[in-house]
Amino acid sequence: MGPIWAAGILVITASSQQHTFSLQQASTMDRRIAPHSSFKIPAGSMTVFTMLAMLVTLFVYDRALVPLARRRTGLDRGISFLHRMGVGFTISVAASLVAGFIERHRREAAVAGGTTDAGTAPLSVYWLVPQYALHGVAEAFNSVGHLEFMYDQAPESMRSTATALFWLSISLGSYVSTLLITIVHRWSAGPDGSNWLPDNINRGKLDYFYWVVTLLQVMNLVYYLICARQYTYKPVQHYKEEEGEDKSMVELQQKV
């Protein structure tokens, strides 16, 4: 289970950017709730789109996708834990890739509007909704699947430990994010002290950072697919009654 568990760390590293650089992006954009409104959406409230996307995905998954998948796979849960996590990994890659393109468009809008050093870029904050929403969808698939996998596949006496390991992966994902930012700061530093991630993101290359995260996630996805292909599910015991007698038979269930 260890290699499968470790694969979930980088997904948290990618999603943690919503609370750092995505927040900086939002603070430099037009945050009016409507073109002629004076009310501005707080930059920190943009994560509501992640929550909404996750809740909608969970609802659609449970009410629509599971019944459809159940007919095809014969599994009560529709698809296996590993398939669900794999979908989450793939969507997380797409979220980071999209974030890079949106950041490039935002920076170009800031330059064109003359707000590189100060002011609000003439670009609506709603441009950030796709990356927030994609992270929410990815979390609905990956995090839920990851937690279910750890709980279901662990020995009964270690289920509490397995659940704790899931939360540990979230912590490690945040630490890896900090480490990655430190490495990028040093690696991209120029003779004049500039780098990809300055305080003024209009002068930086945040899109490059998002694409570095995308590349790491692609590598992580390949690693995960190899591990998932080699993984053998824990045998499950079934008890049957034959000819009115309480005879117990143990079967090994290969599909989970």
Domain-located, residue 243 = no
pLDDT in tens, 47-66: 999 999 999 999 998 888 88
Picking from 75, 215, 200, 86, the residue whose alpha carbon sits closest to that of residue 146 is 86
pLDDT digits (tens, 9 = 90+) for 7-19: 999 999 999 988 8
pLDDT digit string, tens, across residues 79-137: 888 888 999 999 999 999 999 999 999 999 998 888 888 778 888 999 999 999 999 99
| Start-to-end C-alpha separation, the chain | 15
For residue 236, the model assigns a pLDDT of 56
176 inside domain: yes
Specify if 90 maps to a domain: yes
Question: If residue 211 lies in a helix (H) or strand (E), which one and from where to where?
Answer: helix 206-230
CATH number of the domain enclosing 139? 1.20.1250.20
Per-residue pLDDT, 216: 95
Report yes or no on 250 lying in a domain.
no
**Cβ 127 vs Cβ 114: under 8 Å:** no
**Distance in angstroms (rounded) separating the CA atoms of residues 225 and 106:** 34
Largest CA distance in the chain: 84
Task: For residue 17, tell me if it sits in a domain.
Answer: yes
Phi-psi region of 181 (alpha: psi -120 to 50; beta: other; left: phi over 0): alpha
Q: Which domain holds residue 50?
A: 1-31+42-230
- Residue 249 belongs to some domain of the structure: no
Output the pLDDT for position 250: 41
In this prediction, residue 253 carries a pLDDT of: 44
Residue 251 has pLDDT above 50, yes or no: no
Given this model, what pLDDT does residue 243 score? 43
Number of domains in the chain: 1
Per-residue pLDDT for 242 more than 70? no
Q: Indicate whether 109 belongs to any domain.
A: yes
Please check whether residue 11 lies inside any domain of the structure: yes
Choose the weakest-confidence range: 29-38, 89-98, 215-224.
29-38
Residue entry with tokens 């609000």: 120
Please tell me the distance from the alpha carbon of residue 239 to that of residue 247, in angstroms, as a whole number.
Answer: 8
Paired tokens of 26: 């939002």
| Top-confidence residue, 166 or 214 | 214
pTM: 0.85
